Amino acid sequence: MLHPEIETMSREGIRELQSKRLQETVRRVYENVPFYQKAFQEIGLEPGDIKSVDDLSKLPFTVKQDLRDNYPFDLFAVPKSELVRVHASSGTTGKPIVVGYTQNDINNWADLMARCFAMAGATKDDTVQIAYGYGLFTGGLGCHYGAERLGATVVPISGGNTKRQLMLMQDFGTTVLACTPSYALYLAEEAVHMGIDLPASQLRIGVFGAEPWSDNMRKELENKMGIDAYNIYGLSEVIGPGVSMECQCKNGMHINEDYFIAEVVDPETLEPLPYGQKGELVFTSLLKEAFPVIRYRTRDISVLIEEKCDCGRTFVRMERVAGRTDDMLIIRGVNVFPSQIESVLLAIGETEPHYQLVVDRKGAMDDLEIWVEVSDKMFSDEIRRLEELERKLRNEIQSVLGISAKIKLVEPRTIPRSEGKAKRIVDKREL
């Protein structure tokens, strides 16, 4: 355990720590973020009304739309000169969700992620290959700073380049692999094709997250790679990876409660639910300076587990994410909203407004096909023109969403019409 005095703190101690930090956070957002000040004033709430975690439910919720409305920097609680980094994640339309960090935030995040790697059993003696994407996504750099903070040897290879990943994995004696579970499976399958015996290699731990996966997938990855595979959860709005992490009991992810307060609420009534009941996860940050969040609704569905864990940690756990309350898709770890694709199609304007997203898993990799209707006239046009349009759409999707998709132009009236909500997504992936 990296921080035993905190990770095994009494529940009463955690409560006190959270209450103190909650008061500070509430004051910070009230004094520095007009959005929160207004939201508090609208319901007649003064920062002094929040004295402990018991008062949490008096606070208003924050949703993704609020982040969009305040794009890019209006929810930040520090002057821009205090920021040392920004990250961004997919929004529901063209503009991304932007989050920022002060130097203290980056330090805290590094400590937090170091703790997460240690929870999986990693130490300074490990070599950690980070195959999450580096860049605006929080995955790569979040893991990077954490593994460095732990004192491990970091291989910042980022995603892709599979053959090279496998070569360096062997040559460098990688012991810990951090990436999405689907990319891990792809690496495992490529290794077999290349005649590499991963179970015989030094690889021993997987830190996998950014997308949903199942216990069956865990077994498969553990067998194919000869590792113990652990689930890590997080989201940019709250900090990035490291909001919660599985311990070696592999029985739910411990929420890092010294940094965040977790709640589960009924997504319809927004009433907080007791431990053990399934609902939408909501997080309040406790230490963040640049981008504090108050009761942020994640749209992720899970359950909080109160029972003490065999590892000795006292932090509550959350079950694997069981789904979303919105239509966000996660393709190779990247969040994708149908509305983003729709705006690309409409902006180009050469297709009909009827489309469907078909998601499948070909081998290990998620595969996104965008079916879109073209006009009768267009369809009877030259093949070359259709190919040109396909290419244009593909490039635009790649540049807006940052992922590749296959475009399939189909005849008019071939995509099923619905009488209610259009069925935009056909997800054939099995968990």
- For residue 207, the minimal CB distance to ligand ADP (Å) is 10
Angle made by CA atoms 260, 155, 193, in degrees to the nearest 5: 110
Classify residue 304 as exposed, middle or buried by CB count within 10 Å of its CB (0-12, 13-18, 19+).
buried
Please answer whether residues 359 and 368 qualify as being in contact, where contact means their C-beta atoms are separated by less than 8 angstroms: yes
Nearer to Zn ion, 311 or 341 (CB): 311
- For residue 337, the minimal CB distance to ligand ADP (Å) is 12
Piece in contact with Zn ion (CB under 5 A), picked from 245-253, 279-287, 298-306, 402-410? 245-253
> In sequence order, what are the residues at sequence separation of 6 or more whose Cβ sits closer than 8 angstroms to the Cβ of residue 110?
145, 146, 148, 149
Please give the structure tokens belonging to residue 326: 């919105």
**Site mask for Zn ion (CB under 5 A), range 192-211, x = bound:** --------------------
Q: Does 366 bind ligand ADP (CB under 6 A)?
A: no
Question: What residues numbered 303-322 form the site for Zn ion, per CB under 5 A?
Answer: 309, 311, 313
Q: Which does residue 89 touch among K ion, Zn ion, ligand ADP, none (CB within 5 to 8 A, set by kind)?
A: ligand ADP
Please answer whether residues 370 and 393 qualify as being in contact, where contact means their C-beta atoms are separated by less than 8 angstroms: yes
Which amino acid is it at 186?
Y
> In sequence order, what are the residues at sequence separation of 6 or more whose Cβ sits closer than 8 angstroms to the Cβ of residue 113?
142, 143, 145, 146, 147, 149, 241, 242
Piece in contact with ligand ADP (CB under 6 A), picked from 20-28, 232-240, 363-371, 390-398? 232-240
Question: What residues numbered 87-126 form the site for ligand ADP, per CB under 6 A?
Answer: 89
The alpha carbon dihedral of 78, 80, 86, 92 has a sign of: positive
**Site mask for K ion (CB under 5 A), range 172-211, x = bound:** --------------------------------------x-
**Site mask for ligand ADP (CB under 6 A), range 247-286, x = bound:** ----------------------------------------
Residue indicated by tokens 């998620």 = 366
Please answer whether residues 243 and 283 qualify as being in contact, where contact means their C-beta atoms are separated by less than 8 angstroms: yes
Nearest partner of 264 among 272, 252, 254, 256, judged by Cα? 272
Piece in contact with ligand ADP (CB under 6 A), picked from 289-297, 330-338, 368-376, 395-403? 330-338
Question: What residues numbered 120-159 form the site for ligand ADP, per CB under 6 A?
Answer: 137-139
Q: Does 303 bind K ion (CB under 5 A)?
A: no
The alpha carbon dihedral of 389, 395, 400, 401 has a sign of: positive
Nearer to Zn ion, 308 or 392 (CB): 308
Nearer to ligand ADP, 209 or 338 (CB): 209
Please answer whether residues 263 and 293 qualify as being in contact, where contact means their C-beta atoms are separated by less than 8 angstroms: no
> If binding means CB under 5 A, how many residues of this protein chain bind Zn ion?
5
By the criterion CB under 5 A, which residues form the site for K ion? 210, 330, 335
By the criterion CB under 6 A, which residues form the site for ligand ADP? 89, 137-139, 209-212, 231-236, 240-241, 298, 300, 321, 330, 333, 335
By the criterion CB under 5 A, which residues form the site for Zn ion? 247, 249, 309, 311, 313
